[in-house]
Amino acid sequence: MNLRSVSFAPHHLSVARDYNPAFLLSTIAGLLAIPGIGILGWVFLERYAMGVMHIGWAIAGAVLLLFSAVAISAGTISLLMKRMETRLSKRIRERE
């Protein structure tokens, strides 16, 4: 990884936080899909390889996966609304 790209990361995060915080938080919450998929994969592996069912872990993995799906959907809606706001404000400025 390039040192220059690491130094730009805090700047990009602050810009994202200032201009569209809902999308930034949705993206961060969407990262919960990674451990959710890992937990569900482990549960299914244990179930079909060893015959042991971990229902609590399965529920936890499913909740993480569903929460991340909702967060990604909210982020997508946030981006669409931000784009619509930009287009509307541009049209209003053109009419003035």
The sign of the torsion formed by the CA atoms of 37, 39, 42, 48 equals: negative
Query: 63-82: b or e for each residue (b if 16 or more CB lie within 10 Å)?
Result: ebbeebeebbebbeebeeee
| Within a domain: 5 | no
Looking at residue 73, its pLDDT comes to: 92
Q: For residue range 46-88, list pLDDT tens digits in order.
A: 999 999 999 999 999 999 999 999 999 988 898 899 889 999 9
| Within a domain: 16 | no
Q: For the chain, how many structural domains are there in total? A: 1
> Residue 72's domain spans which residues?
22-95
